[in-house]
Amino acid sequence: MKNTPIRVLIILAVLSLIGIIGTQVFWLNRAIEQQDQVFNYNVQVALRNVVESLCEANGKDFPAVNPIEQVSGNYFIVRTNDRIDLTNLEYLISAEIKKRAISQEFEYGVYDCANDQMVYAENVNIAGESTVSVMPVLKNDEYYFGVYFPNKSRNLFAGFDLWKFTTLLTFAVIIFFGYALFVILRQKRLSEVQKDFINNVSHELKTPLATLSLASNTLLEKASDKDNRYLKIIQTEVGRLQKNVEDILHSSQLESRSPLKMEKVDVQHFIKTIIGELKDEYASRMIQWEIKGEAKNQISSNRKLLENIIRNLADNAVKYGGRNVCIALEQDSKSTRIEVSDDGKGIPKEYQKKVFDKFYRVPEAQNQHNEKGFGLGLQIVASAVKRLKGKIVLQSEIGMGTTFKITLPNG
């Protein structure tokens, strides 16, 4: 199921490229066929006019049967069944071909029907010039001549520069698409390996951390005052590590897109409970907590995600804010709005668009962070709000504090 969207995308892209190439080849063939038909028609008209001129010069009527036969794509023979004036033949052919706007080199030859042999041949270039040669004396009237265009196919295709360009462009798109697909699949594979590694390491860390926490709690009951000080340091650091591990796990779980368990939640009571726990956790910091407004009606939500949202925003307000944290509630028939504000130094505007990025932390003086962490808190908040089909907005000014405004649907 994970790869279904990518497979669909690949199939659609491949079908689109096949369709584009097929359409281009089809219309290119049609254009070449039409160009070829026009060329053949013009040549036949030109040769017909040549026959008429020869007949007129000989005082004969035009043959009842079509005297022109196209033997191949670029070779035409003309049966005059009459005397051919070699001195005028080349001039007549060149003049008629130029009149029909055919700018191709051609060769012509005269054949003796009785002996089935060529008695005269000449090559004429595009400019209508030919080499000077000695013309034979024709002995009888049983002759016909042929006209050959040696470069017809190449010259016909030479007129399709736009088609050539679009074809090259199409191949460039195909190559780019193939490379992009390769990069996407490789990045996807590396991302999956990274997620598996993070999940495995996080789960492996949870067990020893829980053991350390339990052992330190047991030792605290019997330890002396001096030992208590060190054991409390151990407990604090273990708690911080547990928080970091939980953040990593929550971040991975949010990206997994697994189905959510939705249930009715009394938002106001839920937030009061979390704030009560945070008051005890941050009692040493002397933070002033305030809850304003009310949300009387329950909403349908996921308790774990909602807790992650409130805890991470409140945690950020304590760590990077001032001494006052305010949580405001507002509710109507469709949505519930939660605002978490602090009176800290604020976030510069140039960093506000990046604070929800994974592992991003707002730079501080000399790139030293007083508060430790991985930069996952706000990324978890944004992902959780998105999964709950809500919206989050950041408002912050330097020296005026920071406010995160969250809007969640009621049902």
pLDDT in tens, 253-274: 666 666 778 899 999 999 999 9
Tell me what pLDDT residue 368 has. Answer: 41
Q: Which amino acid is at 273?
A: T
Residues of the chain by 3-state class (helix, strand, coil), percent to 5: 55, 20, 25
- 3-class DSSP state of 252: helix
The mean-pLDDT minimum among 174-188, 270-284, 291-305 falls in: 174-188
Average pLDDT, the chain: 79
Exposure string (b/e) for 385-397, b if CB count within 10 Å is 16 or more? bebbebebeeebe
- Element at 21 (helix H, strand E): helix 4-58
- For helices 303-320 and 267-281, give the axis angle rounded to 10 degrees: 40
Residue 78 pLDDT > 70: yes
Residue pair 140/114 in contact by the 8 Å Cβ criterion: yes
Task: Report the percent of the chain where pLDDT is more than 90.
Answer: 14
Distance set, CA 370 to CA 279, 281, 283, 319, 366 (Å): 21, 18, 19, 9, 11
160 pLDDT tier (thresholds 50, 70, 90)? low
Residue pair 374/359 in contact by the 8 Å Cβ criterion: yes
Residue 133 pLDDT > 50: no
Residue 410 pLDDT > 80: yes
CA neighbor of 60 nearest in space, from 83, 44, 86: 83
Tell me what pLDDT residue 131 has. Answer: 47
